[in-house]
Amino acid sequence: MITLSRRRLMAGGLAIGAISGVDAQATAANGPDRRLIASTRSLDVNGRAATVFRLVDEAGNAGLTLAPGDQFQVTLDNQTPDHTIIHWHGQLPPWTQDGFPWPQTPPLAPAATRAYDFTPIPGTYWMHSHQGLQEQRLMTAPLIVHDAAERREDRQEIVLMLHDFSFTAPDELLAGLTGQTQSQIHAMARLSENVAVSSSKMPADHQMGTMHGMQNMGSMGSMGSMGSMGGMTMDLNDIAYDAFLANDRTLHDPEIIRVGRSARVRLRIINGASSSQFWIDLGALTGRVVAVDGHKVQPVPGHRFPLAIAQRLDILVDLPVGGAFPILARLEGSRRRTGIILATSGARITRFDTTGLNKMQPIDNSLETRLIARAPLARRKPDLLHRITLGGSMKPYAWSLNGDYWPHIKPLMLQKGQRVEIELVNHSMMAHPIHLHGHAFQVIAVNGKPIRGAVRDTVLVTPMMGSVRIAFDANNPGRWALHCHNLYHMMTGMMTEFRYGNIRV
Ligand SMILES: [Cu+2]
């Protein structure tokens, strides 16, 4: 089904051409209408071919890059054999264009198209499927929205997208975690796409027993690795992946990006992994973090920064001399790594192993507590406070919010115009990157300590009673998901809904 926007109709013949798919190339050159194609492709990983998804623009480039002032006027064309729905992660569209499979916004059938039209916010964003486990099969891509000020900086822009990759089918990975059969997994995947059921009780066949909170400290899964924090162990890395990809390549055969001597670079780093968190390691270079999740912050200098699942970092780097400079993403709790190489002309490029010498610590909120928003929320007392407890365990493998498992949740209600605060408290042994759809929030406290932190869309809540408080203005009426962005946590229940009071469902 295609809805013609008023703008499209006014744009006349060329735009109509794009909608019927006749002349998309010419239209792209002449107007803001863009095509985004979801399809499959073959990807070579470690010398072995895998069939994965892709999201490309009309020129075949991954994702979308919008110029300053461009409207997000996009026709999504599903050329895959499966239903799909694409979420514009971090963007603030009307809820019916958010790309979440609510009953009112069902997934897109094979061979169908759907038109989108909203005003994007500038910065480093990304897009990914919100259908089943498609994200793990690389139905992900960058979504870069330029602003005029960044253009004037005249920096070389380098997008670095990270993935975790397995040759094993994602539903088998999930089955391996939960101990369920594939048909049970398929039933669970269907549940996750359905309407939230207003119930705080799990159905009998999903009863997980008393496994919330810290009672399960002794029964960790065998697949995961562990880190230690204050003498206690925490869970990391639920899945043993076959590879970690930086712009679709491993560190054995990395992307080498040519830069000028004393180049001025803006790295736009996107953690598009399904279940892996990294330390970004600039090696010999020093960078300045100037934006997180697309939102500007006061610059923070450094050479190693944590990056939770779904988060983004904009880092400015000025090369001091010529040479080859690896930009590494090092898996937390592991020696494994991926990355790209920046190289000036004639630089000797050494080979890098996909495992490093040192095992990395778990990522933490050490950067978060140093961030200061360039455009903070106005100071205001909250009208509404929701406390959300993060629970779950590796065995049995299931994750919850306030003890409820999606879709058996009670929507959290809010009203337009309210200042809302959410206190996220993590009772589990694992960190959770929590993402709120449709709103940019400010981090206002970490572990009980107030900060005037970053504005962003995904925040890490550290394990073992770690807490984060976020605030946002309820200015985008609709139904909105809040969930853990670890795909396997979301799929086993760690999702809920924020619903504005006047929305008909
Ligand atoms: Cu989680």
CA of 489 to the centre of ligand 1 (A): 5
Residue ranges of the domains in the chain?
6-150, 190-215+372-500
How many whole angstroms from 432 Cα to the centroid of ligand 1?
Answer: 4
8 Cβ contact list (under 8 Å, min separation 6): 15, 16, 19, 33, 73, 115, 117
User: Alpha-carbon distance 406 to 410, whole Å?
Assistant: 9
Residue 462 Cα to ligand 1 midpoint, Å, equals: 10
Predicted local distance difference test score (pLDDT) of residue 406:
96
Dist. CA 71 → ligand 1 center (Å): 33
What band does 188 get if pLDDT is binned at 50, 70 and 90?
low
- For ligand 1, the distance from its centroid to the CA atom of residue 377, given in whole angstroms, is 27
User: What is residue 505's predicted lDDT score, i.e. its pLDDT?
Assistant: 75
pLDDT at 503: 82
Query: What is the reported pLDDT for 226?
Result: 53
Instruction: Identify the band that residue 228 occupies on the pLDDT scale cut at 50, 70 and 90.
Output: low
pLDDT digits (tens, 9 = 90+) for 119-152: 999 999 999 999 999 999 999 999 999 998 888 8
- Report pLDDT for 198: 40
Residues with Cβ–ion distance below 5 A, ligand 1: 432, 484, 486, 489
User: What's the pLDDT band for 218 if we cut at 50, 70, 90?
Assistant: very low
* For residue 24, pLDDT beyond 70: no
What does the buried/exposed string (b/e) look like for 127-157 if buried means 16 or more CB atoms within 10 Å of the residue's CB? bbbbbbbbbbbbbbbbbbbbeeebeeeebbb
The pLDDT assigned to 152 comes to: 87
Statement: residue 195 has pLDDT above 50: no
pLDDT tens for each residue of 203-215: 333 333 333 333 3
CA of 486 to the centre of ligand 1 (A): 5
What is the whole-number distance in angstroms between the Cα of residue 495 and the centre of ligand 1? 9
Mean pLDDT of 346-366: 94
Average pLDDT over residues 435-453: 98
Q: How far is the CA of 106 from the centre of ligand 1 (A)?
A: 25
At residue 491, the 3 state secondary structure works out as helix
Average pLDDT over residues 390-401: 92
Instruction: Identify whether 320 is preceded by a cis peptide bond (ω within 30 of 0).
Output: no
At residue 440 the predicted structure's pLDDT band, cuts being 50, 70 and 90, is: very high
- 410 pLDDT band, cuts 50/70/90, is very high
In eight-state DSSP terms, residue 62 is B
Q: Does pLDDT of 183 surpass 80? A: no
Q: What is the mean pLDDT of residues 472-490?
A: 97
Q: 464 C-alpha to center of ligand 1: Å?
A: 13
Mean pLDDT of 323-348: 96
Q: How far is the CA of 286 from the centre of ligand 1 (A)?
A: 31
Task: Give the pLDDT mean for 315-319.
Answer: 97
449 pLDDT more than 90: yes
Which one is the CATH code of 190-215+372-500: 2.60.40.420, 3.20.20.70, 3.40.190.10, 3.40.50.620? 2.60.40.420
Euclidean distance between CA atoms 447 and 469, whole angstroms? 8
**Fold match flag (6-150 vs 190-215+372-500):** yes
Categorize the per-residue pLDDT at 190 as very low, low, confident or very high, splitting at 50, 70 and 90. low
Contact 399, 489 (CB under 8 A): yes
- Structure token pair of residue 293: 């999740």
Range from 298-302, 319-323, 329-333, 372-376 carrying the lowest mean pLDDT? 319-323
From ligand 1's centre to the CA of 485, what distance in Å? 6
Query: In angstroms, rounded to a whole number, what is the distance separating the alpha carbons of residues 439 and 499?
Result: 12
Q: How confident is the model over 97-107, as pLDDT tens digits? A: 999 999 999 99
- 83 Cβ partners below 8 Å, 6+ apart? 107, 108, 109, 110, 131
Give the residue-averaged pLDDT of 324-346: 97
> For residue 30, what pLDDT is reported?
41
Mean residue pLDDT of the chain comes to: 87
Q: Which of the two residues, 270 and 229, has the higher pLDDT score?
A: 270
Distance 216 CA to ligand 1 centre (A): 16
pLDDT in tens, 3-16: 333 333 333 333 33
- How far is the C-alpha of 487 from the C-alpha of 207, rounded, in Å? 21
Could you list the beta-strand ranges (E) of 46-146: 48-57, 64-66, 72-78, 86-89, 113-118, 123-129, 140-145
> In this structure, are residues 491 and 396 in contact, taking their beta carbons and an 8 Å threshold?
no
From ligand 1's centre to the CA of 102, what distance in Å?
21
Cα-to-centroid distance, 128 and ligand 1 (Å): 17
Ligand 1 centroid – CA 335 distance (Å): 22
CATH of 6-150 given 2.60.40.420, 3.20.20.80, 3.90.1520.10, 3.40.630.30: 2.60.40.420
Task: Please give the distance, rounded to the nearest whole angstrom, from the Cα atom of residue 460 to the centre of ligand 1.
Answer: 9
For residue 465, the CA-to-ligand 1 centroid distance in Å is 14
* pLDDT over threshold 50, residue 200: no
Say how many residues make up the chain.
Answer: 505
Are 454 and 371 in contact by the 8 Å Cβ rule? The answer is yes
pLDDT at 209: 33
